[in-house]
Chain A
Amino acid sequence: MNYISLKNNQTIALSAIPELDYASFLDLNLSSINSSGAHCVNYFGFPNAGKIKLICCIADDELHSIRVSSSVVETKQPLLSFTKHNLVFEKFEREIHENFGVAYKDHPWLKPVRFPSNRFNKKEGIADYPFFSIESEELHEVGVGPIHAGIIEPGHFRFMCNGEQILHLEIQLGYQHRGIEQLFLEKKKLLQRITLAENVSGDSVAAHSVAFINLWESLCNYQPTSDLQLARTLAMELERVAVHTGGLSGMCTDVAYQLGSAVFGRLRTPIINFFQKWCGNRLAKGLIRAGKTNFPFTNELGDELTKLFDEFEEDFEGMSEELFELPSALARFEKTGVITEEQAKTIGTTGMSARMSGINRDIRASHPYDLYAELKHQPIIKHHGDVYSRAQIRKEEIRQSIRYIRQLIQNVSLETDKPGSLSSPQPNSFTIALVEGWRGEICHCAITDEGGELIHYKIKDPSFHNWLAVALAMRNNEISDFPICNKSFDLSYCGHDL
C-alpha cells in the first residue's frame, strides 16, 4: 500500500505513513483526488533533516477515511506541481513554496500566500505583492484595503474593472499573520495551546478549540466521556446558530434592509449571552478544555436554552419569511456572485461555500466526531451558488442546528462520569482532526518528536480555499455588489493568515 488510511481523530506512528518518491507521490494523490467524494483536507511540508517532508491528506467522504501519504524532497530541485493537473492544490503548493523555497516548474501562479515571518524569501515584504495587471485604456483598477470601511479585519482587494463591471478580482491576504502555528510549538503549556486554538479565529472559537482538543486527546490516547462530547457538540451547533444569524443581519445591512439588519442582529444577542451564562464568555472562550470541563452542561441550562429557542424561533421565522419574500432584497440576492458546481469542484471549496453549489461536503456527515454519528446529520445542499443560496443555507442550517440542540439536551445525564486524567502526547506520532465549523471544514494536524513534543502544527481554516471562490464569484458582477458577495461568504482573514 502506498498510502495509509486513517479515521478522523486517529493517531498513528509517523513512520507508518508510506514515504514515496516524488513522482509516485504526485501520481497517487492526483488519482486519489479524482475519485468521487474525495477532497484534499491538508497538504503541507515540514523540515526534516535538511530536506522537506511533504504530507498529503486526501479525505474520502464515501469510505469515511483519510488517505495519508508522504514524500521527502530537496528544496534546490524544482518539482513538477500538482496544481498543473488539479487546481485544488494551488494554494497548498504556494504555501510550501513560500515557507520553504521549494521551487515548482509548472505552477501557474506561484504567488505569496501570507508573507509569514519565517518565510523562505525575506527580501520581499507584504508591500511587494505581485498583482496581475492588464494594459488597456478602457480598464481601470480599484484598490480596496487593507483597512476597510467597517469594523472588519484587514485584507487587500484589487479589482480590475470595465466601467462598473468587474473583470477580475485579486485578493491579497497576510496582514493578520500572528505566527500561530509556530507559537503552538513555542508555548509548551497545554493551557497556552488551547488559548491559541481559541484565538485562531474569534468567530469560530468552539470549532477551532474542538479541533485542537479532539486532536490533543487522540494524541494523548484519551477517550472523552459522553458529557464532554455533548458539551462540544452543543457548543459547535450554538456557534453555528449565533454566527449564521449574525451573518443574515450583515447581509441585510449590505443590501440596506434596516429592519432585517436590526432584527437578526438582536436575535444573535440571546444566543451569545447564553454562552456567557454557560461559560462566562459571549464567544465561548474558556469553554472547551482537554480532558475536562470547567462548565458542565446542566438541566437548568437545558431548560433555559429550550425557552430561549421557543422565543427565538418565532421572531426568526417571522423575519425570515419577510426577508425571503421581499422583492428589493431578492433582487440583490438572486443570481449575484455565482459559483457553479464545476467551479466549486475545480477550486475545492469547503463548507457552506461548497454546499451552496450543490456539493455534498460536510465533515459532520462524512467523518463524524463527538456526537455527530448519533445525530445522523444530513447536509443541507443548495444548487444556485449565488448570494440567495448562501442566505438560504444559513436560514436552513439555523433551523437544523436548533433541532439538533433540542435533541441533544433531552438526554443530559446528571451522572457525569469522572473523566480520567490526560497523559502526555505519544512520541513520533501523527494526528489529524477534522471538524465542520459554521464556515466549513477545519483541519488540524500535529507531529511529535521522540520525546512527545510537538515539532509541527498545521491548521487549515475553510477560508484557505474559499477566498478564491469570492474572487471568482465577483467576475462580471457590478463592483457595487462586492460588499453583499463578500458578506455572503463571510470568510476569515485571521483564520487564513494564522
Chain B
Amino acid sequence: MLDNLKILFHQGKQYIPDVTTAKVPGIFRGRPVISTEKVNETELMELCPTNAISINPVCIDLGKCTFCGECAFAFPDKIKFTTDYKIATNDPKKLIVLEGLGETIELNPELIRAEIYKCFSGSLKLRQVSAGGDNSCELELNACSNVNFDMGRFGIEFVASPRHADGIVITGPITENMAEPLQICYDAIPEPKIIILAGTDAISGGIFEGSIALNRSFLTRYKIDLYVPGNPIHPLTFINGVLDLIKKRK
C-alpha cells in the first residue's frame, strides 16, 4: 500500500492542464506555411510521395500529406512546417493550405449539423474501426485517453460496442476486406451519429492511394463530420478537433 502511494506520489502531475493551449515539444511537423518565394514548382510537386502538392498556385492538401517534411528540406524558403497541431476541420476545402496565406485551420460552423451540439456537447462516445490502419493512428488514439492527454475529462471516450456509441472513428485507407465489417459496425450505431476520419490514410488513402486492395465506397455514402490529418494524428490534433466539433454551434 505504502509502495503504491510512493509510486503515485513520485509520478507528480502528468496531465496536460490545458489541451487547447499546450505546446508540443521539439520540431513537430504540424500546419505548413507556404511563402510566395519563386521556386521550381514542377520539381516541388514531383517530390511529394502522395501528390499532396499542386501548383498554380502552390498548395498542400493536408488530407494527402504524410508530413514527411521532405518538401521543406528541399525548398526551405518555400515551405515551413509550424508546430501548430490544430489542423482538424470539417471542411475539406480548409485542408488545402495555399501559398502566401498562412491561415489557421478551423472548423466551419455552418457545416456542423445542429444535432451534434444538442446531443453530444456534454458527452461523446466513439467506436473506433481500424480499416487497414497501420497501428500508428490507433496508438495515438489510445494515447488520447492516457494520463497525459486525458480526453475522458471532457466526456469523450472510446467504447467497446457500436450500440453504445455516438459515432465512428475510422483509421486506415479502408481495405476491401474491411469494407463490409465497417459498414456493419456503422449500421449498428444508433442515430444521430457522426463520422470522423483520423489520419491521412483514412482521409485520402495516403501512400496506399490507388491500391487495388482498397474499397473506399463507404466514404461516398455518408457526410464526414471531421477530418483529422496526420501520419499518425497527434493526440492534441484529435482532441482539439473533436472539442471544436461538439462545442461550436452555428
Contact = CB atoms under 8 A, between A and B. Distances in A.
A266 B135 contact: no
Nearest to B47: A191
B231 A285 contact: yes
Contact of A177 (B50, B132, B146): B132
Interface stretch (A179-187, A230-238, A379-387): A179-187
B207 A263 contact: no
A176 B11 contact: no
Given A115-B177, A202-B134, A294-B73, A282 B232 contact: yes
B66 A285 contact: yes
B120 to A, nearest CB: 19
B13 to A, nearest CB: 11
Contact of A195 (B3, B14, B207): B207
Interface in A481-498: 492-494, 497
B211 A178 contact: yes
Contacts of B129: 147, 154
Interface string B3-33: 1101110110010000000001111110000
Contacts of B152: none
B208 A183 contact: yes
A286 B180 CA distance: 33
B175 A280 contact: no
Given A117-B176, A127-B180, A265-B146, A195 B68 contact: yes
B167 interface: no
A147 B172 CA distance: 14
A151 B128 contact: yes
A283 interface: yes
Size category of the A interface is: 35 or more
Contact of B7 (A182, A246, A279, A319): A319
Interface stretch (A16-24, A31-39, A270-278): A270-278
Contacts of B92: none
B175 A176 contact: yes
A63 interface: no
Nearest to A202: B136
Interface in B189-229: 201, 206-208, 210-214
A175 B177 CA distance: 5
A70 to B, nearest CB: 27
B69 A280 contact: yes
B148 A269 contact: yes
A178 B141 contact: no
Given A175-B175, A283-B136, A151 B141 contact: yes
A191 B73 CA distance: 13
Interface in B101-154: 128-143, 146-148
A195 B50 CA distance: 9
A202 B160 CA distance: 22
A266 B146 contact: yes
Interface string B71-107: 0010000000100000000000000000000000000
A283 B232 contact: yes
A25 B206 CA distance: 41
Contact of B178 (A146, A189, A278, A283): A146
A180 B66 CA distance: 16
A494 B172 CA distance: 10
A178 B142 contact: no
B43 interface: no
Contact of A280 (B27, B160, B207): B27
Contacts of A115: 177
Contacts of B14: 266, 269
Contacts of B66: 195, 285
Given A154-B178, A179-B212, A318-B10, A259 B135 contact: no
Given A151-B141, A183-B211, A283-B232, A178 B49 contact: no
Interface in A255-310: 259, 262-263, 265-266, 269, 273, 276-283, 285-286, 294
A199 B28 contact: no
A26 interface: no
A196 interface: yes
B212 A153 contact: no
Nearest to B143: A269
Given A151-B141, A178-B213, A273-B26, A199 B11 contact: no
Contacts of A182: 211-213
B176 A203 contact: no
Contacts of B58: none
Nearest to B134: A202
B187 interface: no
Nearest to B70: A191
Given A116-B213, A175-B178, A266-B14, A202 B50 contact: no
- Residue with the highest number of chain A CB atoms closer than 10 Å, among B3, B4, B173: B3
Interface string A312-338: 001100110010000000000000000
Given A179-B213, A202-B136, A281 B67 contact: yes
B213 A177 contact: yes
B197 to A, nearest CB: 15
B137 A191 contact: no
A202 B138 contact: yes
Contact of A201 (B3, B134, B206, B211): B134
B210 A203 contact: no
A315 B173 CA distance: 38
Contact of A178 (B4, B137, B147, B175): B175
Contacts of B142: 150-151
A1 interface: no
A192 interface: yes
Contact of B208 (A150, A174, A179, A497): A179
A277 B49 contact: no
A259 B27 CA distance: 31
A277 B178 contact: no
Given A126-B177, A318-B10, A322-B4, 10 more contacts: A152-B138, A177-B213, A179-B212, A182-B211, A183-B208, A205-B136, A280-B29, A285-B67, A286-B70, A315-B7
16 contacts: A114-B177, A118-B212, A147-B129, A151-B128, A175-B131, A175-B181, A176-B130, A179-B214, A192-B49, A195-B68, A202-B133, A202-B138, A246-B139, A259-B8, A265-B146, A276-B25
Interface of A: 114-118, 125-127, 146-147, 149-154, 174-180, 182-183, 186-187, 189, 191-192, 195-196, 199-203, 205, 246, 259, 262-263, 265-266, 269, 273, 276-283, 285-286, 294, 314-315, 318-319, 322, 492-494, 497
Nearest 5 pairs of A and B residues by beta carbon: A202-B136, A277-B26, A179-B213, A149-B160, A202-B134
